[in-house]
Amino acid sequence: MNQQVEILLITGPAGVGKSTVSWEVGAQLAAKEIAHAIVETDELDRVFPKPSAEELEALRPGTRDISSLTLAGIWSTYHALGHRRLIMSGVMVHVGFDRRWILAAIPDATIKVVRLMGNEATITERLARRETGSGAEAQVQRSLGQAQRIASQDASEFLVLQTDGKSPQELAALILQGSGWV
């Protein structure tokens, strides 16, 4: 068995379909009986109050973000169970920074970045279905800003997919083909 840990890092602005596509990638892998785990990065630091720099340093010297500690803990269990493939999803506007904290948690990993993009109408429509309440419009504006910042960055090393008009099944198949996981 290949001992190298492989990570598919599915990124893009909020509302582009990262979670849905990640779950579909997992479903397609499961259908082929390919072992994997899925982690949504939003859940790695969902704690209140946030730990201080001193508390993180005491837990693991050099740690600056609770996400890295949480991922290391989760991954140690998955890895002990024999998993070597991890699907992660999150906004990740600054992929270089995110690679560092992920590799601090899983040092033996290789990371394949998949960037999902969508036009303004697609993102706005998807967010309208899931965001309700007084913060909905602010979330749309944040997401559109994320999309602009992400689109302005170099993606030459990433697998970039437009989600407009594509089903999660189609996108997952393209990701699995592009990643070499199937």
CATH number of the domain residue 154 falls in: 3.40.50.300
Is 5's pLDDT higher than 90?
Answer: yes
- Please give the pLDDT value at position 102: 96
Is 159's pLDDT higher than 50?
Answer: yes
Is 154's pLDDT higher than 90?
Answer: no
| 175 φ, ψ (degrees, to nearest 5) | -65, -45
How many domains are there within the chain?
1
Q: How many CB atoms lie within 10 A of CB 40?
A: 16
pLDDT, tens digit, for every residue of 85-131? 999 999 998 899 999 999 999 998 999 999 999 988 888 888 888 77
Range of the domain at 157: 5-179
Is 1's pLDDT higher than 70?
Answer: no
